[in-house]
A and B are shown apart, each in its own frame.
Chain A
Amino acid sequence: MEILQQLFFYVVAFVAITSGILVITCRNPINSGISLVMTFFCLAIFYVTLHAPFMAAIQIMVYAGAIMVLIIFVIMLLNLGSTVVVRFRHAVSGAVVASGLMLFQILIIIKQGSVSPTQGGISPEVVESAGHTELIGKALFTDFMLPFEIASILLLVAIVGAIILAKQEV
């Protein structure tokens, strides 16, 4: 059973990282977008295995649904073709070196840092009995009331800004 769990994790992680590589290597922006949707679905599967089903649903609805539809809509609206094949530039090797160093650093931090479980109140059993959505809702409307309201104002500003930017002739 544990072997199966590990196998499942590695398969999903492999698909997530492969589609992540495809996002940055595909010539056509549409293909990058489809690969990004695949990555989002793999992350949603991770959220389910981490006992956060509400987050998985939100991930699929907001990211794979709303944001990616918006991005693909804009790509098709602007009628962008595939980019021409650029020759190997120094910027590419510089970026790979910088990202590789950053990855190395993060891996060292992950290896050295020891996060001990503090035995907080939220265990898988509690999530299953009370319901994840209910727990999130309670936390959101009691402890995190102010951030929630600020987020709603941010969304309002974003709506107004998007309409104004896209409407007028700049």
Chain B
Amino acid sequence: MVVSVQHYMVVSAILFSLGTIGVLTRRNAIVVFMCIELMLNAVNLTFIALSSHLGNLDGQIFVLLVMTVAAAEAAVGLALMIAFYRNRESIDVEDFNLLKL
């Protein structure tokens, strides 16, 4: 049996769960950001596996759009972190409480 679409989706599910664990447990904001990228990539793998399985190109176009959003998110998110670090000298997520009264 050749490698089926389920194999790819299981790998994708494992990577997504790893990303979730990272987002929930790590305290460094940049590592949290990298874990979000990991989750986005897991979803991309699902998109491309199913697109190849169904013989339809639409999923790959959506992967292209997800990559665009990830690039925009990286630019804005890292700029926010630099601004926050300038203000607080830290990027620990537990210091992200500027909106707290």
Contact = CB atoms under 8 A, between A and B. Distances in A.
Given A103-B17, A136-B64, 15 more contacts: A24-B19, A24-B31, A46-B45, A47-B48, A55-B48, A63-B37, A71-B33, A83-B27, A96-B21, A99-B17, A99-B24, A110-B10, A118-B56, A165-B80, A169-B86
Interface residues of B, number: 72
A6 B9 CA distance: 15
Interface in B44-91: 44-45, 48-58, 60-61, 63-65, 67-76, 78-87, 91
A17 B75 contact: no
B41 A39 contact: yes
Nearest to B11: A13
Interface residues of A, number: 83
Nearest to A150: B65
B13 A103 contact: yes
B67 A58 contact: yes
A154 B1 CA distance: 43
Interface in A77-94: 77-78, 80, 83, 86, 91-92, 94
A165 B58 CA distance: 35
Nearest to A138: B57
Given A29-B28, A103-B13, A110-B13, A62 B67 contact: yes
B78 A144 contact: no
Identify the interface centre among B17, B45, B51, B91: most chain A CB within 10 Å of its CB. Answer: B17
A67 B58 contact: no
Nearest to A158: B72
Contacts of A23: 18, 22, 31, 34-35, 38
A51 to B, nearest CB: 6
Contacts of A51: 52
B30 A29 contact: yes
Contact of B30 (A43, A71, A96): A71
18 contacts: A20-B19, A23-B38, A24-B18, A46-B45, A78-B82, A91-B24, A95-B21, A95-B24, A96-B21, A96-B25, A102-B17, A110-B10, A110-B13, A140-B61, A154-B68, A154-B69, A154-B72, A161-B79
